[in-house]
Amino acid sequence: MSPDSAPPVLIVGSMAFDDLQLPSTTATDVIGGAATYASLATSLFAPARIVAVVGDDFPESTLEDLRHRGINTDGVWRADGKTFRWSGRYSENLSSRKTLDTQLNVFADFRPVLPDAYRDSQFVLLANIHPALQLEVLDQVTGPRYVAADTMNFWIEKERPTLDRVLSRIDTLVINDEELRQLAGEHNLKKAARATRSLGPRRLIVKRGEYGAMLFDDHGLFFAPAYPLDEEIDPTGAGDTFAGALLGTLASQGDLSPQALRRALLTASSVASFCVEDVGTRRLQTISSEDATARLDSLQALVSLEL
Amino acid sequence: MSPDSAPPVLIVGSMAFDDLQLPSTTATDVIGGAATYASLATSLFAPARIVAVVGDDFPESTLEDLRHRGINTDGVWRADGKTFRWSGRYSENLSSRKTLDTQLNVFADFRPVLPDAYRDSQFVLLANIHPALQLEVLDQVTGPRYVAADTMNFWIEKERPTLDRVLSRIDTLVINDEELRQLAGEHNLKKAARATRSLGPRRLIVKRGEYGAMLFDDHGLFFAPAYPLDEEIDPTGAGDTFAGALLGTLASQGDLSPQALRRALLTASSVASFCVEDVGTRRLQTISSEDATARLDSLQALVSLEL
């Protein structure tokens, strides 16, 4: 199925400027945010619809670029003020990062309002924002077929009751291993997964960075390796890229079978690896769905006994 | 092939008493050592031959138990003095450990002497000991078909020229990711693997604990996941178990094709997971090759698109 003919994926999340201190370079005013990364990844496989807010400093040309990729930006609201800004420093080997500064700016007062044309979205990705806003988005879609959500340590700690309401209304939670452990209060991943799935999501996807991703569902456990890179430049947004590619693939396949989920997990891992190859969204903007397919083949070869 | 009819695997390494401070329990005088773990794992698939040294405090009944499993202990020398002892404390989630004490004891003066009947060994595992002793073992075998070696940070740092001579004479280096990075002076695993293979070993296997293991060879890269456990008790010896199962499987298969190596990697990962389920070698002593096969099936299901 070509991206144009697949059902669109609704994505709510941040759009941002990032200031990145990376081992190989320092970059300021990098266009980032979960919705940006996720929608670029989705657009390889299906149309995307973004709900987000930007300030008056956000370049119209960026939105125009997104639209050229089949991403609907009618739900990107332009508010008076500055765009959300995140500043972080990565460790020498990229294995950890430290937030240096977060300026919510126009994001502080953001209430997601869906354009009417978005309400019929069947595939929904609630990227990492306040769980109350994730609920507001869910309240505005009429009958979603598949909803996945991300979250982060801050909401797990500070907004647990609201987050629990989100968990009760989604199909798939997509979080990293440390967030899972925090959410479940349990270090063992199998036990933590069981506890978390009992809160609502039938499926749980655990992102483990360079170690790949795991899917827990009614059919057991599935493991997708990460694609090993010769050069890792910037992991910012790789998790959002993963989630966007996952939703795009599922929408494109039009199939939510356990096998389809497993295939989508491998595709998501493949696409996420591209993200790390350059600063910000730069690499994502240059790849085609053919590139993604080729990398998927390489990734599958990693676990194949055939040569 | 039944374990009895496979060609034997020669294993040189430590036999030890371990004092373990684990999150779930504290255990003293636990029978350990690389040769012990490795030979138990090998014995599931092929006969093992140990070269090692123990003190006069090492229980004869343990050696007797090993012999009952098809492990030849004619090369286990009993010296006057105390057996090698290692004492360590694991972190709350088992992700790291600290050596509290190492007493070399009889291991300090150990020079491996192979019984004549060992010299024809075709499959050789040089577990983690001084690289000079690994070379002495190699000098005593007449025509090995497959040699794998392990090492550790201490030898990488202190005995690099000798270790380099080992590397030039082995087929496969089996080390963990941090050791690989140290050996190559390079964080990126693909680059580090390339640099390390250029020193001699055609094949490199990188152990990554709960994240599985990777094989780098002329045919590319292969990934074996770790089997996720419901309860992790004691990771001591899991790496040695992995190496022992790898060699045992290869000997049993009688096949060193790239496919055979990949199958052996999965089997090794399966068997290593048992090791973690109880303190010391306790769990390893209770499993059968059927248990190992069943877990291998479970492990392969983790990366299979079939359900």
CB-based contact, B116 to chain A, within 8 Å = no
pLDDT at B307: 81
**C-beta neighbour count of B185 within 10 angstroms:** 9
pLDDT at A30: 98
Q: What is the pLDDT of residues B74-100, one digit of tens each?
A: 999 999 999 999 999 999 999 899 999
Residues of A in contact with B191 (CB under 8 A): 230
Cβ of B188 within 8 Å of Cβ of A305? The answer is no
CB-based contact, B297 to chain A, within 8 Å = no
- b/e burial code for range A118-146 (CB count within 10 A of at least 16 → b): beebbbbbbbbbbbebbbbbbebbeebeb
Cβ of A223 within 8 Å of Cβ of B302? The answer is yes
Minimum Cα–Cα distance from B258: chain A residue: A307
CB-based contact, A208 to chain B, within 8 Å = yes
pLDDT at B275 over 70: yes
Cβ of B228 within 8 Å of Cβ of A307? The answer is no
pLDDT at B135 over 70: yes
Cβ-Cβ contacts under 8 Å for A66 (sequence gap 6 or more): A36, A39, A40, A43, A50, A73
Minimal CA separation from A307 to chain B, in Å: 7
Cβ of B258 within 8 Å of Cβ of A307? The answer is yes
Interval B63-72 mean pLDDT: 97
Is residue B183 classed exposed, middle or buried when 0-12, 13-18 and 19+ CB atoms within 10 A define those classes? buried
CB-based contact, B255 to chain A, within 8 Å = no
Low-confidence ranges of chain A (pLDDT < 70): 1-2
Q: What is the pLDDT of residues B198-229, one digit of tens each?
A: 999 999 999 999 999 999 999 999 999 999 99
Residues of A in contact with B212 (CB under 8 A): 211
pLDDT at A254: 87
- The shortest CB-CB distance from A188 to any of B211, B230, B303 is to B230
Minimum Cα–Cα distance from B260: chain A residue: A305
Q: How far is CA A138 from CA A282, A307, B91, in A?
A: 31, 45, 41
pLDDT at A23: 94
Cβ of A303 within 8 Å of Cβ of B303? The answer is yes
pLDDT at B1 over 80: no
Interval B2-8 mean pLDDT: 86
Cβ of B307 within 8 Å of Cβ of A258? The answer is yes
Q: What is the pLDDT of residues A15-65, one digit of tens each?
A: 999 999 999 999 999 999 999 999 999 999 999 999 999 999 999 999 999
Residues of B in contact with A220 (CB under 8 A): 301, 307
pLDDT at B34 over 80: yes
Contacting A residues, span 227-246, partner chain B, CB-CB under 8 Å: 228-232
Q: What is the pLDDT of residues B147-181, one digit of tens each?
A: 999 999 999 999 999 999 999 999 999 999 999 99
Of B166, B189, B160, nearest in space to B176 by CA:
B189
d(CA B152, CA B174): 10
Cβ of B259 within 8 Å of Cβ of A229? The answer is no
d(CA A96, CA B122): 44
CB pairs under 8 A between A and B: 64
Q: Residues in chain B, how many?
A: 307
CB-based contact, B81 to chain A, within 8 Å = no
Mutate which: B181, B188, B206, vs A, most A CBs within 10 A: B188
Cβ of A189 within 8 Å of Cβ of B220? The answer is no
For chain A, how long is the longest CA-to-CA vector? 57
pLDDT at B4: 80
User: Do the bridges between strand A16-21 and strand A9-12 make them parallel or antiparallel, or are there none, so unpaired?
Assistant: unpaired
pLDDT at B191: 97
Ordered DSSP codes for A6-74: SPPEEEE---EEEEEE-SS-EEEEEEE-HHHHHHHHHTTTS-EEEEEEE-TTS-HHHHHHHHHTTEEEE
Mutate which: A93, A188, A194, A232, vs B, most B CBs within 10 A: A188
Minimum Cα–Cα distance from A213: chain B residue: B211
Cβ of A223 within 8 Å of Cβ of B303? The answer is yes
pLDDT at A4: 80
User: pTM of the full predicted structure?
Assistant: 0.95
Minimal CA separation from B275 to chain A, in Å: 17
- ipTM of the assembly? 0.92
CB-based contact, A194 to chain B, within 8 Å = no
Cβ of A231 within 8 Å of Cβ of B188? The answer is yes
Minimal CA separation from B211 to chain A, in Å: 6
Minimum Cα–Cα distance from B187: chain A residue: A93
